[in-house]
Amino acid sequence: MREVYKTNKHILTLNDKKIAITIPAGVLDQQVLRIKGHGGEGMNGGPHGDLLLTIHLVNTTPFKRDAQHLYTTVPLDLYTALLGGVVNIPLFEGQIKLKVPPETANGTKVRLKGKGFPVYKKEGEFGDLIITYDISIPKNLTEKEKELFTTLAKLRTS
């Protein structure tokens, strides 16, 4: 999927003939591209038909794609979820720092407009990136941590 984040030019060899093709950014999985005049011979000496290429994308990214929108789950530790903080979100180009407000609930979704995938054949237009926070609960607590959490629990119930 990363390969179609930007427009790419490729050279295909078909029947010992090299064909230059351009795969536009934002192309979809299973989308068919038509290359005019590079198909089979026409009937009765007519012009060549069109070559049809079906695009097969393999996703090796942390994102799920729905057209131009991207979805990802970001792990969030309990302390950042409770107290707020900053998380780094990887993008196809670089990363972005995102402020997490205090008392963020598990499963909270954040939409980042224009940070998704390119819109097919619309230069400079991008979909949205939708982030879902997945809060992790600490494991293997020390006795001191258990004691502190017990104290916190008592403060909530009194």
Q: What is the pLDDT of residue 158?
A: 67
- Binning pLDDT at 50, 70 and 90, where does residue 97 land? very high
Domain encompassing residue 125: 64-157
SS (HEC) of the chain: CHHHCCCEEEEEEECCEEEEEEECCCCCCCCEEEECCCCCCCHHHCCCCCEEEECCCCCCCCCEEECCEEEEEEEEEHHHHHHCEEEEEECCCCEEEEEECCCCCCCCEEEECCCCCECCCCCCCECCEEEEEEEECCCCCCHHHHHHHHHHHHHHHC
Average pLDDT over residues 111-136: 94
**90 and 147 co-located in one domain:** yes
Number of domains in the chain: 2
Domain boundary pick from 54, 74, 90: 54
Residues of the chain with pLDDT > 70, as a percent, come to 99
**70 and 143 co-located in one domain:** yes
- Binning pLDDT at 50, 70 and 90, where does residue 93 land? confident
**137 and 82 co-located in one domain:** yes
